[in-house]
Amino acid sequence: MFEFLPLATEERVQIDIDGASHDVPAHMNVAAAMLSVGIDVSRTTPVSDSPRGPFCMMGVCFECLVEIDGVPNQQGCCVQVRDGMHIRAMRNRPVWNALRKDAK
Ligand code: FES
């Protein structure tokens, strides 16, 4: 479904996604890099824990939210990969879990 444009660079970077190392083209954004290695779930919804993945690829839908280098809620489609980047899918209902902790 996806093809590289002929102008794409040959440079590649090493990134870590959920603990696994991947070699991806340096020109990609995080969401594209995740899709290119077969990861199509970037987050789950806070209440129902339903899986969500990149949809618009242009910063509008917020379905691509991931944690990048320890900073949560980053739009993966708006951040270019760089060597050594650590990416984590945002799962396990972070909002719901936070609310439950506050309720104690
Ligand atoms: S894929 Fe829609 S905001 Fe990133």
Residue 56 CB less than 6 A away from ligand 1: yes
- pTM for this model (two decimals): 0.83
User: Is the pLDDT at 45 greater than 70, yes or no?
Assistant: yes
Residue 23: the pLDDT is: 97
Higher-pLDDT residue of 104 and 55 is 55
- Lowest-pLDDT range of 23-32, 45-54, 62-71: 45-54
Helix (H/G/I), strand (E/B), else coil: 102: helix
Within a domain: residue 38?
A: yes
Within a domain: residue 21?
A: yes
Count of the separate structural domains present in the chain: 1
Residue 59 CB less than 6 A away from ligand 1: yes
Residue 13 CB less than 6 A away from ligand 1: no
The set of long-range contacts for 60-63, using a CB threshold of 8 Å and a minimum separation of 24, is none
Within a domain: residue 44?
A: yes
Q: Which structural domain, as residue segments, surrounds residue 30? A: 12-103
Residue 100: the pLDDT is: 61
Within a domain: residue 92?
A: yes
Within a domain: residue 4?
A: no
What is the C-alpha radius of gyration for the chain, rounded to an integer number of angstroms?
15
Within a domain: residue 3?
A: no
CATH number at residue 92: 3.10.20.740
Within a domain: residue 61?
A: yes
User: Is the pLDDT at 103 greater than 80, yes or no?
Assistant: no
59 C-alpha to center of ligand 1: Å? 4
φ/ψ (deg, to 5) at 32: -65, -40
